[in-house]
Amino acid sequence: MKKLKENIGVVMVILGLIGSTGAGFSKFAKMEAQINVLSKKQAPDLTIISTLNTQVKIMETEIKLLKIQIEEVKENNKNPLR
């Protein structure tokens, strides 16, 4: 019992090391599981963005054409001899 009292500090250090080692392995396992989950995920499909950009450009061109046609109609309606 006397030796145990003298070496209680050493015993506490050993128990602390064992506990921290276990905690480290537990944290490592959680990180590894999270890495596995993230590695299975796929990036989103971005091809739709280029398709949408093309559609927007087409619509912008159509709007310009319609504005020109509206101006032509306005000019034609200004002529009183028509």
**Domain spans of the chain, in order of start:** 1-41, 43-82
How does pLDDT run across 13-70, given as a tens digit for each residue? 888 888 888 888 888 889 999 998 888 888 888 888 888 999 999 999 999 999 999 9
Rounded distance, CA 7 to CA 14, Å?
11
pLDDT of residue 79 exceeding 80, the answer is no
Confidence of residue 82 (pLDDT cuts 50, 70, 90): low
On whether the pTM is more than 0.75, the answer is: no
Q: What is the DSSP string of 5-59?
A: HHTHHHHHHHHHHHHHHHHHHHHHHHHHHHHHHHHH------HHHHHHHHHHHHH
